[in-house]
Amino acid sequence: MISDYIKKKQILLVDDEPELLDMVVSILREDGYENIRTAGTVEEALKEAEKSEPELAILDVMLPDGDGFGLMEKLREKGDYPVLFLTARGEDEDKFRGFGLGADDYIVKPFLPKELLFRVAAILRRSYKEEDPLVKLSGCKIDLERAEVIKEGERIPLTAKEYELLSALYRNAGRIVTIDALCEAAWGDNPYGYENSLMAHIRRIREKIETNPSKPVSLVTVKGLGYKLIIA
Partner 1 sequence: MKSIPKLIRRFVLILLLSIFLFLVLNIGFLVFYTVGHSSNGGPWTTAQEAAEAMTATEEGYTLPEKMQTELESKNIWAVYIDNGTLKALWHSDNLPDTVPLQYTASEITSLTRGYINDCPTFTGTGEEGLMILGYPQKSFWKHMYPSWDYQMIESAPRTVLLVLGGNILLVMLIYLGANSGLLRSVRPIVDGIRRLPEGEPVRLKEKGILSELAFHLNKASEVLQSQKYQLMKKDAARANWIAGVSHDIRTPLSMVMGYAGQIENLTYLREEDRKKASAIVRQSRRMKGLINDLNLASKMEYNMQPLVREDINAVALARQVAVDFINMDVEGRYPIEWETEDALTVCRIYADKELMKRAISNLIQNSMNHNEDGCTIYVSVAAGGYCVISVEDDGTGASDEQIEKLNHAPHYMVCDTNTTEQRHGLGLLIVKQIAESHGGCVEIGRGGHGGFGVKIVLPVKD
Q: Which residues bind partner 1 (CB under 8 A)?
A: 17, 19-20, 23-24, 26-27, 30, 88-92, 108-115, 172, 175-181, 192-193, 195, 222-226
Question: Which residue, 29 or 47, has its beta carbon nearer to partner 1?
Answer: 29
- Residue 180 C-beta: closest distance to partner 1, Å: 4
In the bound state with partner 1, the residue whose beta carbon lies nearer, of 111 and 128, is: 111
Crossing angle between the packed helical segments 18-30 and 113-127, to the nearest 10 degrees: 70
Distance of closest approach, residue 16 Cβ to partner 1, in angstroms: 10
Closest CA to 10 of 47, 48, 41: 48
**What is the distance between the alpha carbons of residues 127 and 149, in angstroms, rounded to a whole number?**
22
CB of 63 to partner 1, least distance (A): 13
CA of residue 148 relative to chain centroid, distance: 22
Distance CA 52, CA 136 (A): 33
Considering the complex, state which of residue 57 and residue 177 has its C-beta at the smaller distance from partner 1: 177
Q: Which is nearer to partner 1, 200 or 225 (CB)?
A: 225
Contact 123, 82 (CB under 8 A): yes
| Min CB(167)–partner 1 separation in Å | 18
CB of 175 to partner 1, least distance (A): 4
105: which strand partners? 84
- Nearer to partner 1 (CB atom), residue 20 or residue 150: 20
How far apart (Å, rounded) are the C-alpha atoms in residues 209 and 125? 22
